C-alpha cells in the first residue's frame, strides 16, 4: 500500500469520525489544526483506524505521534 493511499484512507476515517466532510489532511496536520480533534475523539480515531487497517497500535506508538505523518509512518511499518 502506497503512502498516498494510506493518507487517503486515514483522511476518510477522520472525516467520518470527526463528521467533517471537507477535512483535508497532510503529513504536517496536528490535533491543533482540527477543531473537532480533541482527546476523546483521538481515542475514537485510533480505534477506527485500527479497525480500518486491521492493525493494533501500542500505547508507546500512539504517544509518539506528533502529526498525521507520524501516524502514517506507523501504519506503513505495520502493513
Q: Rounded to whole angstroms, what are the CA distances from 11 to 27, 60, 66?
A: 11, 22, 16
Nearest to 57 by CA among 76, 39, 41, 40: 76
User: Which superfamily, per CATH, for 3-78?
Assistant: ACP-like (1.10.1200.10)
Lookup: cell for 57 = 497500535
- What does the pLDDT read at residue 39? 93
- Read off the DSSP letter of residue 36: T
What are the tens digits of pLDDT across the range 15-73?
999 999 999 999 999 999 999 999 999 999 999 999 999 999 999 999 999 999 999 99
Scored b (16 or more CB within 10 A) or e, 36-50 reads: ebeeebeeebbebbe
- What's the whole-model pTM score? 0.94
Element (H, E) at 7: helix 3-18
Of the pLDDT bands very low, low, confident and very high (cuts 50, 70, 90), residue 1 is confident
With cut-offs at 50, 70 and 90, classify the pLDDT of residue 79.
Answer: confident
Amino acid at each position: 500500500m502506497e503512502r498516498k493511499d494510506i493518507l487517503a484512507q486515514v483522511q476518510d476515517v477522520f472525516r467520518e469520525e470527526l463528521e467533517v466532510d471537507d477535512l483535508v489532511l497532510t503529513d504536517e496536520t496536528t490535533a491543533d489544526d482540527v477543531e473537532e480533534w480533541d482527546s476523546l475523539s483521538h481515542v475514537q480515531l485510533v480505534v477506527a483506524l485500527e479497525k480500518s487497517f486491521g492493525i493494533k497500535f501500542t500505547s508507546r506508538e500512539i504517544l509518539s505521534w506528533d502529526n498525521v505523518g507520524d501516524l502514517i509512518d506507523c501504519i506503513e511499518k505495520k502493513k
